[in-house]
Amino acid sequence: MPISVKTDSITEAWRTLENSIIFYRKRPIGTVAARDCQRAALNYDQCFVRDFITSGLLFLTQGKTEIVRNFLIETLALQSHEKQMDFFKPGPGLMPASFKVDIVDGKQVLIADFGEHAIARVPPVDSCLWWIILLRAYVKATKDISLAYQPEFQQGIKLILDFCLVHRFAMYPTMLVPDGAFMIDRRMGVYGNPLEIQVLFYAALVAASELLLPDDSGVHLDTINRRLAALEYHVKEYYWIDINRLNEIYRYQGEEFGKEVANKFNIYPESIPNWLTEWLPETGGYLAGNLGPSQLDFRFFALGNLMAILVSLASEEESQKIMNLVEQRWDDLIGSMPMKICFPALEGLEWKIVTGSDPKNRAWSYHNGGNWPVLLWLLVAAALKTGRVELANKAIDVAQSRLSQDEWPEYYDGKNGRLIGKEARKYQTWTISGFLMAKELVANPAHLNLISFEKDPDMITCVN
């Protein structure tokens, strides 16, 4: 493609992103989800906390810190302080899924949605985790640690920690969440301990340990350190899949009892799907999608694996294996548009049972194997961190050849991502910001520091 066309698409992307900014009392505070004039707005005219993270990181790379600071302040003010989650009221520490500017009695007010209007009324667990990660990025970009040290920010971080670290009916260091509680916000069989939440949880704990002031009791920091060690061990030990691990699972004995057993979760070898034994490369590997009693979800979920690289939850060797998998299964995971949200798709009777016959999540569409351009920036960031610059450039080349022409859609359908999503909104803000963020990372890899976490050599590895 001629360079002028690429330049024009970048100019268009920046202009569209600027036009998506939401103002509250004459101050920029976020971006709308999409500006598609051809479809009903629904809640796409609101600012989603999850969606804004990509825009916020991009603004930080440009020195446009005011909008990120305002976003952090205003969403903190919206944070729930309820004593319990009951009767449709969010629990303390929960951040809203989205918010909008409204007029009440002639004055601008912010209206938050904690999931009351969402599909199946599921509250967003990931919003509060992403919020802490963005706060850390803001501090790294501006060196303004004083914002995080403000009493209300310290309280906000602690409320999130209390919300995430509360005692539950669970024996694992992971977070237990329902279907629909994160980016995959419809029923997709990810109830329990989905990878994406565990990686975001890990990143939020690390970020909180950097942002919290030591207090007299030191309870939160001590709790964070204990949980981090246990969580890291748990995910690495039980979620990781490569050919050696697959052979171990294949030879598992079921119905084992006691503490010192190999098959702690009673995973049956018969649960290994037929597609996996042929699909998994000899030099590749990845973190499984979910883990629970007699359940190992062997699907590949992109966001969790890419973020695991960025936050150093995956080791250097594991990170290289994840990128090997992406490279060797490029047609499956990238195809005509980076990147597939999960692989493979649920089909037939399995689709009916797991999704409840969800027509939006039919095979190779939306969250059931659809391709999401917003994941481009995460793929590029992971490629840069692992020294796989050629993969970063290749992915950008694939994306920029279509995105502007297709009017920046939310997602793509089809096994190879060749079709614009059946119900995809166009001029989707995080599609635009994801593309621009990918370009910025390649142009200036130093921006990777905003989202990259390095391994703490003082962290003690927990052994079960």
Q: Average pLDDT across each block of 10 residues of the chain; the chain has 464 residues. List them in order.
A: 57 96 97 89 92 98 98 95 59 90 94 83 90 98 97 96 86 92 94 97 98 83 95 97 97 86 92 97 98 96 98 98 98 98 98 96 98 98 98 97 96 98 97 98 98 69 40
Considering only CA atoms, which of 11, 1, 4, 2 is closest in space to residue 439? Answer: 11
Burial environment of residue 171 by CB neighbours within 10 A (0 to 12, 13 to 18, 19 or more): exposed
Considering only CA atoms, which of 197, 162, 158, 161 is closest in space to residue 177? Answer: 197
Q: Which residue has the tokens 């309870």?
A: 219
320 vs 309: CA distance, rounded Å? 9
CB-CB neighbours of 352 under 10 Å: 12
E-assigned strands of 230-359? Answer: 240-242, 285-292, 295-301, 342-343
CB-CB neighbours of 167 under 10 Å: 5
Distances (CA, A) of 139 to 58, 129, 405: 14, 16, 36
Burial environment of residue 140 by CB neighbours within 10 A (0 to 12, 13 to 18, 19 or more): middle
Considering only CA atoms, which of 103, 42, 55, 100 is closest in space to residue 74? Answer: 100
> What b/e string do you get for 220-250 counting C-beta neighbours within 10 Å, with b at 16 or more?
bbeebbebbbbbbbbbbebbbbbeebbeebe
pLDDT of residue 456: 57
Which residues does residue 23 pair with via DSSP β-bridges, in sequence order?
28
86 vs 426: CA distance, rounded Å? 36
pLDDT of residue 8: 85
Which residues does residue 288 pair with via DSSP β-bridges, in sequence order?
300
> Is 267:298 a contact under the CB 8 Å cutoff?
no
**Structure-block tokens of residue 307:** 């973020």
Burial environment of residue 422 by CB neighbours within 10 A (0 to 12, 13 to 18, 19 or more): middle
**Structure-block tokens of residue 119:** 């599909």
pLDDT of residue 1: 36
pLDDT of residue 117: 78
3 state SS of 30: strand
105 vs 450: CA distance, rounded Å? 40
Q: What is the pTM of this model?
A: 0.94
Burial environment of residue 286 by CB neighbours within 10 A (0 to 12, 13 to 18, 19 or more): buried
pLDDT of residue 215: 77
